[in-house]
Structure 1
Amino acid sequence: MLKEIDSLKRTIFNLKTQDSSLIADTDYRIGSLFRKETAYTDSAYFYYHKAEKIYRNIGNDYKLALTIYGISVILKNEKDFIGSEVASFEAISLLEPLYETESVMVTKSYIYNNLGIVFKELEQFEESIEYHKKALELKSVLKVQASIDASKNNLANTYKKNQQYNLALSYYSEILANKNLKNERPLVYALVLDNYAHTLYLSNNLEKLPGLYHKALKVSDSLAKDGYNSIIINRHLAEYYHDNNRNLDSSRYYAYRTKDIAQKYYTDDLLKSYLLLSEIVEDSLAIEYYNSYIKLSDSLYKNERNIRNKFARIRFETSQKEQENIQLTKERMWLFIISVVIVIASILLYLVITQRNNNVELRFMQTQQETNEEIYNLMLSQNESIEEARTLEKKRISEELHDGVLGRLFGTRLSLDSLNMNNSEEAIKSRGSYINELKIIEDEIRKVSHELNTDFVSGSGYIDIIKTLVETQTQVYEYEAHLEYDEGISWDDVNNKKKIHIYRIIQETLHNIYKHAGATQVNISLKSKNNVICLTINDNGSGYDVDKAKAGIGLKNMNSRIKDINGTLEISSIRMQGTTVIIEVPIL
Structure 2
Amino acid sequence: MKIKNLFLFFVILCIHTAVFSFQKEIAKVSFDSMFKKMNYYAKKQENTTALIYARKMLIEALKNNNEGQEAESYYNIAQFQRKLNVKDSAFYYYNKSKKLFLQRKDSLQLGKTLFQLSIIESDFGSYAESDSLAVLTLKYLNGRNVNYIAATYNCLGINSKKQFLYDDAISYYEAAIKISKNKTGINIYKNNIANVYKELKNYPKAILIFEDLLKETEIYKRTKARVLDNLAHIKMLNNSKENFLQDFLQAASIREKENDYFGLIASYGNLSDYFKEKDKVKSLFYAIKMYEMAKKEMALNGLLEAIDKVVILQTPQKAIKYYKESIFLRDSLQIVETKRQYKFAKIKYNYEEEEKQKLKFKTLAAESKLIALEENNQKKNLLILGIVFIAVLLFIVYRRKQQHKKRILQEKYNTETRIAKRLHDELGNDIYNAITKVLNPKFKIEEIVNDLDKIYLQTRSISHENDSIETGENFEAYFRALVANYNSDECKIMLKDLASINLSKLNKEKQIVVYRVFNELFVNMKKHSKASLVVLSCKKTNNTIEMKYIDNGVGFKENAIILKNGLQNMETRIKSINGTINFENKSDKGLQVTFNFKK
Given the two structures, how large is their TM-score scaled by the length of structure 2? 0.50
* Equivalence for 1:571: none
- After superposition, give the CA deviation of every residue in 1:82-131 in whole Å (9 maximum; x if it has no partner): x1342233332342365412x1x222211111222222222221121111
* Equivalence for 1:14: 60
* Equivalence for 2:297: 265
| Structure 1 residue 170: Cα displacement | 1.1
Equivalent position amino acid for 2:82 in 1: R
| Structure 1 residue 158: Cα displacement | 1.1
* Equivalence for 1:122: 163
Question: Is 2:67 aligned against 1:29?
Answer: no
* Equivalence for 1:239: 273
C-alpha contact 1:31 1:44 (8 A) present in aligned 2: yes
* Equivalence for 1:86: 129
* Equivalence for 1:278: 311
Alpha-carbon distance in structure 2 between the residues aligned to 1:321 and 1:37:
25
Distance 1:232 1:22, change over 3 A: same
Distance 1:294 1:63, change over 3 A: farther
Question: Is 2:243 aligned against 1:198?
Answer: no
C-alpha contact 2:108 2:140 (8 A) present in aligned 1: no
Distance 1:99 1:131, change over 3 A: closer
Q: Which residues of 2 match residues 417-496 of structure 1 at below 5 A?
A: none
Question: Is 2:221 aligned against 1:186?
Answer: yes
Q: Which moved more, 1:275-284 or 1:170-179?
A: 275-284
C-alpha contact 2:110 2:140 (8 A) present in aligned 1: no
Q: Which residues of 2 match residues 46-445 of structure 1 at below 5 A?
A: 46-78=92-124, 80=125, 83-96=126-139, 98-101=141-144, 103=145, 105-139=146-180, 142=181, 144-179=182-217, 181=219, 185-224=220-259, 227-242=261-276, 244=277, 246-267=278-299, 268-330=301-363
Distance 1:157 1:233, change over 3 A: same
Alpha-carbon distance in structure 2 between the residues aligned to 1:135 and 1:62:
19
Equivalent position amino acid for 1:30 in 2: I
| Structure 1 residue 258: Cα displacement | 0.9
| Structure 1 residue 331: Cα displacement | 7.3
| Structure 1 residue 241: Cα displacement | 0.7
| Structure 1 residue 209: Cα displacement | 2.4
Distance 1:120 1:99, change over 3 A: closer
| Structure 1 residue 62: Cα displacement | 3.2
Equivalent position amino acid for 1:213 in 2: F
- After superposition, give the CA deviation of every residue in 1:280-318 in whole Å (9 maximum; x if it has no partner): 222233343233233322322222222222122112212
Distance 1:3 1:70, change over 3 A: same
How many pairs align? 319
Q: Which moved more, 1:48-57 or 1:188-197?
A: 48-57
| Structure 1 gaps, min length 5 | 335-588
| Structure 1 residue 190: Cα displacement | 1.0
Coordinate RMSD, CA, aligned: 2.3
SS at 2:297's partner residue?
A: coil
Equivalent position amino acid for 2:285 in 1: Y
| Structure 1 residue 260: Cα displacement | 1.0
Alpha-carbon distance in structure 2 between the residues aligned to 1:130 and 1:170:
18
Alpha-carbon distance in structure 1 between the residues aligned to 2:67 and 2:330:
43
Alpha-carbon distance in structure 1 between the residues aligned to 2:326 and 2:244:
29
Alpha-carbon distance in structure 1 between the residues aligned to 2:90 and 2:137:
22
- After superposition, give the CA deviation of every residue in 1:18-76 in whole Å (9 maximum; x if it has no partner): 232322222122212121233x2222222223223333444434333322322232233
Equivalent position amino acid for 1:188 in 2: T
| Structure 1 residue 214: Cα displacement | 0.7
| Structure 1 residue 196: Cα displacement | 0.6
C-alpha contact 1:62 1:94 (8 A) present in aligned 2: no
Equivalent position amino acid for 1:261 in 2: M
Distance 1:292 1:65, change over 3 A: farther
SS at 1:229's partner residue?
A: helix
| Structure 1 residue 233: Cα displacement | 0.9
C-alpha contact 1:65 1:92 (8 A) present in aligned 2: no
Alpha-carbon distance in structure 2 between the residues aligned to 1:155 and 1:300:
29
Alpha-carbon distance in structure 1 between the residues aligned to 2:155 and 2:71:
23
Alpha-carbon distance in structure 2 between the residues aligned to 1:319 and 1:194:
44
Alpha-carbon distance in structure 2 between the residues aligned to 1:180 and 1:4:
30
* Equivalence for 2:563: none
Alpha-carbon distance in structure 2 between the residues aligned to 1:291 and 1:214:
31
Q: Tell which structure's C-alpha radius of gyration is larger.
A: 1
Alpha-carbon distance in structure 2 between the residues aligned to 1:165 and 1:157:
9
Alpha-carbon distance in structure 1 between the residues aligned to 2:339 and 2:103:
29
Question: Is 2:48 aligned against 1:2?
Answer: yes
| Structure 1 residue 5: Cα displacement | 0.7
Given the two structures, how large is their TM-score scaled by the length of structure 1? 0.51
Alpha-carbon distance in structure 2 between the residues aligned to 1:56 and 1:21:
11
Distance 1:64 1:206, change over 3 A: farther
Distance 1:275 1:53, change over 3 A: farther
SS at 1:266's partner residue?
A: coil
Alpha-carbon distance in structure 1 between the residues aligned to 2:297 and 2:90:
19
Alpha-carbon distance in structure 2 between the residues aligned to 1:299 and 1:215:
35
C-alpha contact 1:234 1:255 (8 A) present in aligned 2: yes
SS at 2:296's partner residue?
A: coil
Distance 1:265 1:65, change over 3 A: farther
SS at 1:240's partner residue?
A: helix
Distance 1:298 1:57, change over 3 A: farther
Q: Which of these residues, 45, 67, 76, is aligned with residue 91 of structure 2?
A: 45
Alpha-carbon distance in structure 1 between the residues aligned to 2:127 and 2:101:
19
Alpha-carbon distance in structure 1 between the residues aligned to 2:342 and 2:218:
46
Distance 1:265 1:122, change over 3 A: farther
Distance 1:211 1:28, change over 3 A: same
Distance 1:274 1:107, change over 3 A: same
| Structure 1 residue 330: Cα displacement | 5.0
Distance 1:282 1:49, change over 3 A: farther
